[in-house]
């Protein structure tokens, strides 16, 4: 089964994809570790707790339940978990297993990064989104009132254990939310993965084991390569934010309650793709294919009541995080993207409006808007990023 090395200045480790791996997790927890704290939710524990429990038989471990929900991914919850660890005798030899979806991986990872100034972590993601994105690469953290994931740390795990069998019980909606992050990987770096998502649509949605293993492996390979080249998101790692600029604005605007993260990213990818027609010269055919594949794995929840002005205001308030400029990851073609800043507000507005209303016309090409492109010398600044592989 595939293993993808993640090599960072902080630590090098493998993301391992193997069916049934949860029940073999013990092999990835060093014998020298003290108490193993499993951070999870009650739902995940009901489904997979027995498998992990049998894997940890003979070890000293304690299960800590997090109530779940993006709105509860807060510092106050980390403090509660840390107090429970101290009460249970946790010390610097303890280890955290973050066992669940993206939110559990974020909060459990952050807990490990800060408990006793940092203890080892093993990530066991159980949703597709966490398997292909959240659990790989060491980003951990919680939300602040002022924004998502604004408080956290890079804390690389000892291993990421990806068991695709865990996906069998995932709701259809959660599964599709994870598929959007896989689509993201295809657009930013892997035309072959993108074609696979187009051509094996029904098998992918039916969760055929062979194709599921392939798409997970392709996405994790990309994530591992990108993080290994740029752990701290100084440069290349920013490409993983395709769809996230507008996606985060949509999540914040709907108080993290209407859209799953992957669904918000799907909307953000549509907006970025529509924006890319003018700003990054995305060919019409590629533009249509990206919009179509996102729709084919949909739908996302209804967008009614979302005002473009409110999303634009959210983007502006995010400006402070990147030297006062809104940055977009825009596809140049399927498999290659650029990070772009300085896109005129009216173009951002049009792209978001079109994403909200679907005005581009499904299956019609993006040619209708090509004439709106600016002359070449009036294009926004394209920050060149290295392309490895494709
Ligand atoms: N989810 C984007 C990243 O890990 O950089």
Rounded to an integer, the average pLDDT of 123-152 is: 94
Q: Which residues are CB-contacts of 76 (< 8 A; sequence separation ≥ 6)?
A: none
379 pLDDT above the threshold of 50 = no
Rounded distance from Cα 133 to ligand 1 centre (Å): 6
The structure tokens listed for 73 are 């991914």
Ligand 1 atom with minimal separation from the 226 CA = 5
Q: How confident is the model at residue 385 (pLDDT cuts 50, 70, 90)?
A: very low
Among 183, 223, 243, residue to substitute to test ligand 1 (most atoms within 8 Å of Cβ): 223
Residue 260 has pLDDT above 60, yes or no: yes
Handedness of CA 252, 254, 255, 257 (dihedral sign): negative
Angle at 59 between CA 55 and CA 65, to 5 degrees: 75
User: How high is the pLDDT of residue 371?
Assistant: 38
CA 61 to ligand 1 center in whole angstroms: 30
Strands lying side by side in the sheet with 381-383: 327-333, 336-341, 381-383
CB of residue 137 inside a 6 A radius of ligand 1: yes
Active site residue 333: no
Residue closest to 86 by CA, chosen among 106, 123, 107, 111: 111
Encoded tokens for 224 = 């591992």
- Per-residue confidence band for 261, with pLDDT thresholds at 50, 70 and 90: very high
How close is the Cα of 240 to the center of ligand 1, in Å? 6
Q: Which helix (H) or strand (E) element contains residue 212? A: helix 209-229
Q: Is 233 a catalytic residue?
A: yes
Instruction: Report whether pLDDT(118) > 70.
Output: yes
282-337 pLDDT, tens digit each: 999 999 999 999 999 999 999 999 999 999 999 887 755 667 788 999 999 999 99
- 204 phi and psi, to 5 degrees? -65, -45
d(CA 338, CA 327): 10
CA distances from residue 340 to 272, 278, 347, 348, 380 in whole angstroms, order as listed:
10, 12, 13, 12, 7
**Best mutation site among 128, 157, 225, 233 for ligand 1 pocket (most ligand atoms within 8 Å of CB):** 233
C-alpha of residue 274 to centroid of ligand 1, in Å: 22
Q: Select which of 73, 105, 139, 174 is catalytic.
A: 139
When pLDDT is cut at 50, 70 and 90, the band that residue 360 belongs to is low
Q: ω into residue 299 within 30 of 0, thus cis?
A: yes
3-state secondary structure of 165: helix
Q: pLDDT at residue 375 above 70?
A: no
Q: How confident is the model at residue 223 (pLDDT cuts 50, 70, 90)?
A: very high
Least confident of 209-218, 230-239, 350-359: 350-359
Tokens at residue 142, please? 């919680």
pLDDT at 240 > cutoff 60: yes
State the pLDDT at residue 255. 87
Beta carbons within 8 Å of 224's beta carbon, 6+ residues apart? 4, 5, 6, 15, 136
pLDDT on residue 271: 97
Instruction: Say if residues 280 and 331 touch (Cβ distance below 8 Å).
Output: yes
260, two tokens = 């799953």
Please report, for residues 156, 247, 342, 380, the alpha-carbon distance to residue 279 in angstroms, rounded to integers and kept in the order given. Answer: 35, 19, 10, 7
Q: Is 148 in the pocket of ligand 1 (CB under 6 A)?
A: no
pLDDT at residue 378, as a whole number:
40
The response to whether residue 237 sits with its C-beta less than 6 Å from ligand 1 reads yes
Which one of 261, 270, 314, 338 is the catalytic residue?
Answer: 261
Cα angle: 339, vertex 342, 344; to 5 degrees: 120
Is 247's C-beta closer than 6 angstroms to any atom of ligand 1?
A: no
Residue 261 CB–ligand 1 contact under 6 Å: no
What is d(CA 242, CA 361) in angstroms, rounded to the nearest whole number?
22
Residue 362 CB-half CA count within 13 A? 7
């Amino acid at each position: 089964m595939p293993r993808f090395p993640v090599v960072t200045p902080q630590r090098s480790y493998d993301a391992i994809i193997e069916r049934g791996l949860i029940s073999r997790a013990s092999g990835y927890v060093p014998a020298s570790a003290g108490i193993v704290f499993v951070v999870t939710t009650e739902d995940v524990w009901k489904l997979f707790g027995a498998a992990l429990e049998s894997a940890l038989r003979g070890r000293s471990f304690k299960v800590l339940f997090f109530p779940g929900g993006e709105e509860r991914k807060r510092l106050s919850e980390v403090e509660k978990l840390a107090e429970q660890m101290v009460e249970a005798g946790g010390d610097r030899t303890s280890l955290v297993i973050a066992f669940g979806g993206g939110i559990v991986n974020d909060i459990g990872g952050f807990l490990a990064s800060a408990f006793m100034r940092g203890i080892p972590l093993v990530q066991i993601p159980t949703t597709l989104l966490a398997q292909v994105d959240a659990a790989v690469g060491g980003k951990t953290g919680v939300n602040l009132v002022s924004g998502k994931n604004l408080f956290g740390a890079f804390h690389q795990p000892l291993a990421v254990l990806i068991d695709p069998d865990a996906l069998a019980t995932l709701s259809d909606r959660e599964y599709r939310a994870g598929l959007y992050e896989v689509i993201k990987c295809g657009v930013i770096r892997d035309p072959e993965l993108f074609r696979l998502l187009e051509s094996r649509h029904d098998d992918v949605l039916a969760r055929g084991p062979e194709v599921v293993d392939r798409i997970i492996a392709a996405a994790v390979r990309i994530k591992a390569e990108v993080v290994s080249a740029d752990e701290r998101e100084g440069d290349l790692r920013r490409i993983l934010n395709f769809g996230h600029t507008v996606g985060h604005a949509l999540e914040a605007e709907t108080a993290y309650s209407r859209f799953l993260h992957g669904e918000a990213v799907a909307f953000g990818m549509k907006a970025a793709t529509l924006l890319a027609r003018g700003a990054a010269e995305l060919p019409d055919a590629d533009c249509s294919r990206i919009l179509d594949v996102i729709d084919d794995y949909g739908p996302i929840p209804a967008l009614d009541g979302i005002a473009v002005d409110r999303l634009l205001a959210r983007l502006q308030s995010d400006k402070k995080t990147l030297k006062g400029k809104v940055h977009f990851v825009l596809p140049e073609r399927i498999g290659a993207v650029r990070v772009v800043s300085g896109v005129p507000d009216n173009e951002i507005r049009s792209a978001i409006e079109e994403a909200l209303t679907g005005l581009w016309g499904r299956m019609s090409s993006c040619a209708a808007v090509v004439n709106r492109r600016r002359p070449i010398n009036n294009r926004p600044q394209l920050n060149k990023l290295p392309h490895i592989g494709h």
